[in-house]
Structure 1
Amino acid sequence: GEGGNFCSGGDVHDIIGPLVKMGMPELLKFTRMTGDLVKAMRHCPQPIIAAVDGVSVGAGAIIAMSSDLRYATPDAKTAFLFNRVGLAGCDMGACAILPRIIGQGRASELLFFGRTMSAEEGLAWGFFNAVVPAEKLEEHAMAMARRLAAGPTFANGVTKNQLNMEWDMSLDTAIEAEAQAQAICMKTNDFRRAYDAFVAKEKPVFGGD
């Protein structure tokens, strides 16, 4: 984003304009391509942090939504405004992901009306993990990124994978999947490092393996 804004989505003339001239095969190729971005973000093993200031609308709102952690300034304005341009709210996984973050009713309101969600609402609804002053946003996001990078990165990747996979699992299946995932983590060097550090009353230094 530039000028104090996160992302304003697709350019009206460069992206949206040509869409009205496309045939169905071209349109489907385009919509699948945009969805590939969300797939890549969710399949990326590293947690993704969005630092949202100012406008975050359309595809910009989707990018924030698809991140693992979201931090914002009081001026953040988020809108899934597809409805306002005659399109459905089911864009790039919004109908699958957004209700899981803020709830079905709140997601329905944002997707049916395309209205703006304020930073205050986003924090109260669980969309934003924290709201910080604009001058502190980058510093805060980078501090969280450093904490993640200094942590057990292999295990964090497993956590992200399970968060994705368990959306459509039964409870019994999820518990079994987590049992297997945790057993794998118990064979990592980071698990041994944490144990050794605890015994020595030291802070563990993780290596990501």
Structure 2
Amino acid sequence: MLQDPVLVDDTHPRVTVIRLNRPERLNAFDDAAVDAFFAALDRIGRSDASAVIVTGEGRGFCAGFDLSAAAETGEDPVATAAYWTGRQEHFAQLVTRLRALPQPVIASVNGAACGAGLGLALGCDLRLCSDRAKFNAAFIKVGMTSCDIGVSYLLPRAVGTSRAFEMMLTGRMVDAEEAGRIGLVHRVTDADGLMPAALELAETIAENGRLNTWLTKRGMWANLEAGSLAAAIELENRSQILMQGTGNLERVARARGFL
């Protein structure tokens, strides 16, 4: 019986959980799983959820690209190149669609996050992992490059240039303890405590309101690419003026007894 490659759990107030559901493949992405993941993001983006958690079923978070599809080539090299170009660009949207989602996304890394799984975790706004998690830039080990779905952009920003080069050029595994120490994740828990910790974080974020949370996420990502401090402050100023115009500041200040 075929199973859904991606499960969506919206039973938690204000928080939606996306669970990759190919445990027999350590939740590696094939074409159907990518399409199901995108469909889940589209649905959640239109929902009233205030925060999102991404995790994996079973003992893996995401083992990246399912290598059982690696032999899908034809005899015509031009047609093959065109096919793989389209496929690569489609897969790379795993990261850009996460960034475009209005809700903050928390990676709850329960196991191996390898290759595109590392990119998926990096594409989330926050990352927690269990003490069973491990990370690597896997494609360098199978004849490809480690520059894949945003890893070469996001990893140096998370751990620094030298550590990123070392991870990407060696493809070695980084365990949970090291991931926490170098800033790849901001918290490490035991296996049983991972989802409760992720839900607690998501619920804390959800308490702050949707519009101001969305503008904070959008502003953070935009200012990571800002050309100057002045440009970053200009964006911040506009965001604050926009929020002040909603009357939200006065309402919340009164509700909390400041006025």
TM-score by length of 2: 0.73
Q: Is the 8 A contact 2:62 2:112 kept in 1?
A: yes
Q: Is the 8 A contact 1:56 1:76 kept in 2?
A: yes
In structure 1, stretches of 5+ residues that fail to align are 202-209
Q: Is the 8 A contact 1:77 1:118 kept in 2?
A: yes
1:54 and 2:111 matched = yes
Query: What does 1:98-177 correspond to in 2, within 5 Å?
Result: 98-169=155-226, 170-177=228-235
Q: Is the 8 A contact 2:146 2:169 kept in 1?
A: yes
| One-letter code aligned to 2:245 | K
> Which residue of 48, 52, 60 maps to 1:5?
60
* Higher mean displacement: 179-188 or 91-100: 179-188
Q: Is the 8 A contact 1:79 1:116 kept in 2?
A: yes
| One-letter code aligned to 2:246 | T
Q: Is the 8 A contact 1:152 1:190 kept in 2?
A: no
> Equivalents in 1 of 2:74, 2:201: separation in Å?
42
Partner of 2:71: 17
> Equivalents in 1 of 2:136, 2:159: separation in Å?
14
Structure holding more helix per residue: 1
Q: CA deviation at 1:24?
A: 1.2
Q: CA deviation at 1:200?
A: 5.8
What secondary structure sits across from 1:84 in the alignment? helix
TM-score by length of 1: 0.89
> Equivalents in 2 of 1:188, 1:16: separation in Å?
51
Structure holding more strand per residue: 2
**CA deviation profile, 1:142-194 (whole Å, cap 9, x unmatched):** 11111112212211111111111112221111111111111111223432222
What secondary structure sits across from 2:72 in the alignment? helix
Q: CA deviation at 1:196?
A: 0.5
| One-letter code aligned to 2:239 | A
Q: How many residues align?
A: 200
**CA deviation profile, 1:85-122 (whole Å, cap 9, x unmatched):** 11111101111111111111111111111111111111
> Equivalents in 1 of 2:110, 2:223: separation in Å?
31
In structure 2, stretches of 5+ residues that fail to align are 1-55
List structure 1 segments (4+ residues) > 4 angstroms apart after TM superposition: 19-22
Pick closer, same or farther for the CA change 1:20–1:159 going to 2, 3 Å: farther
What secondary structure sits across from 1:37 in the alignment? helix
> Equivalents in 2 of 1:32, 1:9: separation in Å?
15
Partner of 1:196: 254
Q: Is the 8 A contact 2:115 2:146 kept in 1?
A: no
User: Identity of paired residues, percent?
Assistant: 31
> Equivalents in 1 of 2:102, 2:201: separation in Å?
16
